[in-house]
């Protein structure tokens, strides 16, 4: 089992506020899917778009949420979103009445959940140090 240091968790927590972290998270979900939130619409499977289209789609999703993408977006990203993602997330990315997640949230649910985990770990370590 790999052990992480508090500095590792602090670094990741700080990094989680960056556009690059958001981009990497979205890209990971596009490529591998997500089943951690149990939305009524079901599990999101990964791999719906060709691997070379995923980076542009990640940028497009960032743009929907008002974020600046750290990489150039492809011209086909909007087409992929409307043909692959909009059926569940809506053309605006806001999800469909809570059945699927809102991709325009200031902090996406997966990142919010990871931040909560990291903060809990750091608090737990601090508590242990103080005892």
Q: What is the pLDDT of residues 3-51, one digit of tens each?
A: 667 788 899 999 999 999 999 999 999 999 998 888 888 889 999 999 9
- The model's confidence at residue 131, banded by pLDDT at 50, 70 and 90, is low
- Cα separation, 21 vs 114, in Å, equals 12
pTM of the model: 0.89
Q: How large is the average pLDDT for residues 71-87?
A: 92
The residue among 57, 37, 39 whose CA lies nearest residue 47 is 57
- Cα separation, 68 vs 80, in Å, equals 19
Helix (H, G, I), strand (E, B) or coil at 44: strand
- Cα separation, 12 vs 73, in Å, equals 25
């Amino acid at each position: 089992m790999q052990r992480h240091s508090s500095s590792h968790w602090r670094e990741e927590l700080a990094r989680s506020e960056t556009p690059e972290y958001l981009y990497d998270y979205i890209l990971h979900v596009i490529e591998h899917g997500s089943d951690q939130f149990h939305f009524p619409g079901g599990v999101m499977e990964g791999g719906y778009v060709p691997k070379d289209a995923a980076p542009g789609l990640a940028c497009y999703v960032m743009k929907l949420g008002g974020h600046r993408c750290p990489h150039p977006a492809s011209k086909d990203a909007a087409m992929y979103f409307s043909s692959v993602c909009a059926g569940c997330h809506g053309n605006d990315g806001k999800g469909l009445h809570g059945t699927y997640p809102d991709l325009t949230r200031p902090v996406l649910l997966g990142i919010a959940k990871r931040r909560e985990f990291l903060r809990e770990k750091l608090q737990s370590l601090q508590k242990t140090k103080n005892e």
